[in-house]
């Protein structure tokens, strides 16, 4: 049987917004503090997906200067109207202290999914997760959740709707609160479709953890009142602790060319804490070290209500639609940094790659990173990173680096957040020798994992990072053939959504190359290649 194997977008790819245009399917996902913003994946058959590009590629579209972990781009929505694509997003910040947060929201457009995408148009500041609904009379409406920071609320103030004038590039008319949410609470992620005379409002509820869910309501009138689905929620992992896909929620529906229906939704594949580690996750019993991912479930309609065909609990294996299978070229494991542009799978923190700190042309065949601030900084990080998309993976690189002080360092990193990472660094010790050492920051605590290892005046080192579900292990080689582990195996679960003290933690783990120079001299590190190999 031709089947969909979930998750279809593995690793950190949350809050999917699915869209079909002709014979092509697209999914937009959140990127938070990672640049460029908003990943777009493409499929012809709903089974095989390929990363097509990113929407927000310029700082004028996405300024995240100084933003903290899990701030930035929340839950984009993708739509198509008037011969072009539309993407809505919020650039969320100031959400770490107090009860109010800043949620400036925007829409950008492009005639092609590959871009270029326009400069942003403002669509308010009500909350995160904005979307546009294009009605069949030609009018457009902004939908958004309301973030209400007053102490007498649960912060989720319902779903608002307001008309958007695309020619004037502004919201017009009155604001209407059309849906207060259900008893599940945390009502967010509104998207709307129209079918058989009904307006269907689909929202995420329950919070993006074990109680997450997909809620559907409908009305014959755009402004409501909205009637809640008789079997609400239509999808959830709530009370299904044995479900292989947990945290299921934030969904939307898509119809194939042949009239079949599917529901996209986020999920995660949790792992348990290793025996002997007394580390209790927030919210539920398990750790999402890869972050929230994207899955698809088959759906159908009954009495003008959508249902997930297999029931409320998400499945790993789903019957594929009656579409011709369409494969994508196999991605190469090794990037030799021979191109002048960074590979599409790499992202940077908060800002675009710039020749002032990262170059693929200064030394052809190498990625040069010029050291800037330490990895704990919220500002200038000389780092490029690729998502882990498997619980079993191997990363390898070859680095040339000539530090002159202990305040210059470069190497290979397992990165979740500025207060959740491990790294293998080359640096200079106080005796003037080059050394290797594994260090990190877990929940704002700097830690060293073993003593520095002297490699004398050697300035070339091969580095590896392996992930085996529960454990990260760093290793090194001086000749690329004989490898030795450095430091003990490190618990992977603190590098997860549930692994920190902060409730605002929503991303995923990355393998990263980095360079730091606290002296301000921007000492360069040259990386010859990057290998990402999945082992399962």
Going by pLDDT thresholds of 50, 70 and 90, the confidence category of residue 99 is confident
> Which among 528, 514, 532 is positioned nearest to 338, based on CA atoms?
528
d(CA 493, CA 441): 13
Structure tokens at 206: 């329950």
User: Could you tell me the pLDDT band of residue 502, with boundaries at 50, 70 and 90?
Assistant: confident
Reduce the DSSP state of residue 206 to 3 states and report it. coil
Contact at 8 Å (CB) between 318 and 46? Answer: no
State residue 146's pLDDT score.
Answer: 95
Confidence of residue 265 (pLDDT cuts 50, 70, 90): very high
Is 188 known to be catalytic? yes
CB-CB neighbours of 519 under 10 Å: 14
Cα–Cα distance measured from residue 6 to residue 268, given in angstroms and rounded to the nearest whole number: 10
pLDDT at position 500: 81
| Short-list 284, 349, 352, 279, CA closest to 507 | 349
Task: For Cα atoms 73, 65, 492, give the angle at the middle one, nearest 5 degrees.
Answer: 60
Q: How large is the average pLDDT for residues 131-138?
A: 98
- Residues across the chain: 536
249-258 pLDDT, tens digit per residue, is 999 999 999 9
**For the chain, what is the mean pLDDT?**
95
The answer for residues whose C-beta is within 8 angstroms of residue 463's C-beta and 6 or more apart is 396, 397, 398, 399, 411, 412, 424, 474, 475, 476
Residue 15 bears catalytic tag: yes
d(CA 55, CA 530): 25
pLDDT in tens, 198-226: 999 999 999 998 899 999 999 999 999 99
**pLDDT confidence bin for 151, thresholds 50/70/90:** low
pLDDT, position 177: 98
Q: What is the mean pLDDT of residues 416-428?
A: 97
Q: Percent of the chain, pLDDT > 70?
A: 97
Cβ burial of 123 (10 Å; 0-12, 13-18, 19+) is buried
What lies within 8 Å, CB to CB, of 306 at 6+ separation is 200, 216, 229, 234, 253, 261, 263, 299, 300
For 240, 437, 450, the CA distances from 447, given in Å and listed in that order, are 37, 11, 9
Maximum Cα interatomic distance, the chain, rounded to a whole number of Å: 77
Beta-carbon count within 10 A of 458 CB: 12
- Of the candidates 33, 71, 188, 209, the residue annotated as catalytic is 188
Residues forming a β-bridge with 474: 465
What is the pLDDT averaged over residues 131-139?
Answer: 98
What pLDDT sits at residue 276? 65
List 15, 33, 497, 517, catalytic entry? 15
For 273-297, how does the pLDDT look when each residue is reduced to its tens digit (9 = 90+)? 777 666 666 555 789 999 999 999 9
């Amino acid at each position: 049987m031709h089947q969909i194997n979930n998750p279809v977008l593995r690793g950190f790819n949350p809050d999917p917004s699915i869209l079909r245009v002709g014979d092509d399917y697209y999914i937009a996902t959140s990127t938070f503090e990672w640049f460029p913003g908003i990943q777009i994946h493409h499929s012809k058959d709903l089974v095989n997906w390929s990363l097509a590009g990113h929407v927000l590629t310029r700082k004028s579209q996405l300024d995240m200067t100084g933003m903290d972990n899990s701030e930035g781009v929340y839950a984009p929505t993708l739509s198509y109207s008037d011969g072009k694509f539309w993407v809505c997003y919020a650039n969320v910040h100031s959400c770490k202290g107090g009860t109010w947060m800043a949620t400036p929201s925007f829409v950008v457009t492009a005639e092609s999914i590959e871009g270029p995408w326009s400069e942003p148009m403002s669509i308010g500041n009500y909350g995160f997760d904005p979307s546009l609904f294009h009605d069949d009379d030609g009018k457009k409406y902004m939908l958004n959740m309301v973030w209400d920071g007053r102490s007498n609320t649960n912060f989720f103030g319902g779903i608002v709707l307001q008309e958007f004038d695309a020619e004037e590039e502004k919201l017009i008319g009155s604001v209407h609160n059309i849906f207060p949410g259900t008893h599940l609470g945390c009502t967010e992620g509104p998207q709307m479709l129209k079918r058989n005379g009904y307006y269907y409002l689909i929202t995420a509820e329950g919070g993006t953890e074990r109680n997450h869910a997909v809620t559907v309501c409908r009305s014959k009138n755009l402004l409501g009142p909205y009637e809640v689905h008789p079997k609400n929620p239509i999808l959830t992992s709530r009370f299904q602790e044995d479900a292989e896909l947990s945290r299921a929620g934030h969904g939307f529906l898509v119809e194939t060319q042949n009239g079949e229906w599917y529901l996209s939704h986020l999920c995660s594949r949790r792992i348990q804490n290793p025996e002997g580690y007394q580390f209790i996750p927030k919210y539920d019993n398990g750790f999402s070290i890869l972050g929230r991912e994207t899955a698809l479930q088959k759906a159908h309609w009954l009495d003008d209500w959508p249902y997930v065909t297999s029931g409320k609990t998400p499945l790993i294996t789903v019957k594929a639609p009656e579409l011709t299978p369409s494969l994508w070229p196999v991605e190469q494991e090794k990037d030799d940094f021979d191109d002048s542009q960074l590979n599409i799978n790499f992202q940077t923190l908060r800002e675009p790659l710039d020749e002032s700190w990262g170059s693929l042309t200064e030394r052809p065949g190498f990625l040069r990173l010029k050291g800037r601030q330490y990895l704990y900084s919220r500002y200038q990080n000389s780092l490029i990173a690729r998502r882990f998309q498997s619980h079993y993976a191997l990363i390898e690189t070859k680095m040339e680096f000539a530090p002159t002080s202990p305040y210059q360092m470069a190497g290979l990193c397992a990165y979740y957040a500025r207060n959740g990472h491990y790294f293998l660094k080359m640096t200079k010790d106080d005796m003037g020798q080059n050394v290797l050492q594994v260090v990190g920051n877990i929940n704002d605590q700097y830690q060293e994992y073993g003593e520095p290892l002297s490699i004398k005046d050697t300035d070339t080192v091969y580095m590896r990072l392996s992930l085996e579900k529960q454990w990260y292990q760093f290793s090194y080689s001086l000749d690329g053939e004989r490898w030795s582990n450095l430091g003990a195996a490190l618990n992977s679960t603190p590098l997860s959504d549930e692994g920190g003290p902060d409730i605002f933690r929503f991303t995923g783990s990355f393998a990263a190359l980095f360079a730091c120079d606290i002296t301000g001299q921007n000492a360069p590190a040259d990386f010859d290649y990057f290998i990402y190999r999945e082992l399962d």
